[in-house]
Every structure is written in structure tokens, then in C-alpha cells.
Amino acid sequence: MRKKWIAFHSILMKDMGNYYLKPPNISWGIIFPFAWTLMFYIRSQSPLDIREILPGVTAMAVLFGTTSMLAVTITFERKSRSFERLLLAPIDINLLMLAKTTGAILFGIINAFIPILFASFLTDLSGVAWLPLIGSIFLIAVTSTFLGLFVAVAVKEVFEAQTFSNFFRFPMVFLCGLFLPIQSLPLFLRPLSYALPLTYGVDILKTAVNNNGHLFIGLNFSALILFSIFLFAFSTRKIKEKWIH
């Protein structure tokens, strides 16, 4: 068991050093949420309510950070055949994929707190329910990372990973209640909204920050956990079928 966790730690530290802690990625994690906030500030015809847009910007920072990094890095490693060496290592495939995804999860969590840190200088964050907020950020990072893993399993080229990631991400921006309430969507689109994991994470964030979520918080957490389990189990199963011969 000790050797397995040493392998887990080694894979995680390698990925953090090679991918996630590079200056361009760190700066991107800072600039992206700042740019979104600035865009809403410029387009708004009334004074910008930082707390109102904070849940959406936070969720966006996690979603784009995790899916982009994981889908591209795993696809790149498969292309360069370095991932095949990991598959030959004496480590359980589930533990291996957890090691490969933990770096993206941590990167997403760090990204999430950047807009929250900015907001703390611009508005009063008293009254925020921090425990549900932190739990939501963690589960959004997990589900988004496993969505990136799902994308990596489905493609062969890096450009395909980027394109396929956008196939999921951009509909989520409009359908998951990030900035447009689900109740204002046409009726025929609402079932699709509830089929997307980010809907439940955003609803927890809205409840935690502004107390204006519309779903039961226990349902939201349960849905995110189920999405996480399904995406990870489906992806690892496909890895065993397609990548391990």
C-alpha cells in the first residue's frame, strides 16, 4: 500500500511541475476570471453587483481550468506515448487515474478562489456560507476534471480534445444558470440544463453567496457526487477497453 501511495504522490508531483505550476497557466488562472468580471462591468448598464456574478465567474474559472488542462495533457501524453509507460507500471488503473486527475482538481480549486479573493477587496462577503461554498467548489472541480478525462478518452489528437471540450463547456455557460437563470430558459431547454453537472454546482454557489438558489442543497450535492462517480467509472472502463491490450 505504501508503494502505491508513493507512486500516486510521484505522478501528482510530476504533473504539477510539468503542467499546472507553469507561469502561463498560473497567469491564465488569474487573468481569465478577471477578464470575465471586467466584461460584465463594461456591458452592464447599471452598477455591477459583484456578489451577483461571483458564483458564475467562480464556476467558469473552475470549469475552463480543469477541462482544458486535463483533456489536453492526457491526450498529449498519449500522443507522445509517455502515458503508455504509466499503464505498464504496477499500479491499479483507478489509483493511476486518480493521480493523473488530482493535479487538475487542485488547479481548479485554486482558480476558483482567485475571483473570490478579488471580490473580497471590492465588496462585503459577510454572510457567505463558506462550508457549502467550499464543498461546491471541490465537487465542481472533481466533476469538471472527470469531464476532461471523459473527453481525453474519446479523442486521439490534442486539437480534438480542445474542440470536444468546447462542445460541452459553451452550452454549460448558457444552460447551467451561471449568468442566466434556468427559470428564464424555454421549457424545452430546461431538461437539458438539469442533465449537466455544473447546474447543481452553480446552484450551491448561488445559495452560499446570495441565498438565491432554487434547488434543495442536498439534491445538488448528491447529483454532483453521482456525476463524479459515473464520469470516472465510465472513463476508466473505456481506458481499460481501448488503451490496455
More confident residue, 220 or 52: 220
Residues near 121 by Cβ (< 8 Å), separated by ≥ 6?
Answer: none
Residue 185, CA distances (Å) to 181, 182, 220 in order: 7, 5, 19
Q: Give mean pLDDT, residues 187-191.
A: 89
Please report the pLDDT score of residue 36 as a whole number: 66
Alpha-carbon span 23 to 21, nearest angstrom: 6
pLDDT band at 1 (very low <50, low <70, confident <90, very high): low
Q: Give mean pLDDT, residues 15-21.
A: 76
- The winner for highest mean pLDDT among 54-58, 151-155, 157-161 is 54-58
For residue 189, count other CB atoms closer than 10 A to its CB. Answer: 12
Please report the pLDDT score of residue 76 as a whole number: 78
pLDDT tens-digit profile of 209-235?
999 889 999 999 999 999 999 999 999
DSSP string for 21-32: TSHHHHHHHHHH
pLDDT tens-digit profile of 156-183?
777 777 777 788 888 888 899 887 889 8
Q: Mean pLDDT of all residues in the chain?
A: 83
Q: Give mean pLDDT, residues 39-63.
A: 75
At 148, phi and psi to the nearest 5?
Answer: -60, -40
Report helix angle 158-175 to 130-154, nearest 10. 140
Q: Give mean pLDDT, residues 117-135.
A: 89
- The winner for highest mean pLDDT among 63-67, 177-181, 205-209, 235-239 is 205-209
Residue 83 has pLDDT above 90, yes or no: no
CA angle, residues 74, 25, 16, in degrees to nearest 5? 55
Task: Parse the chain into domains and list their residue ranges.
Answer: 24-33+50-242
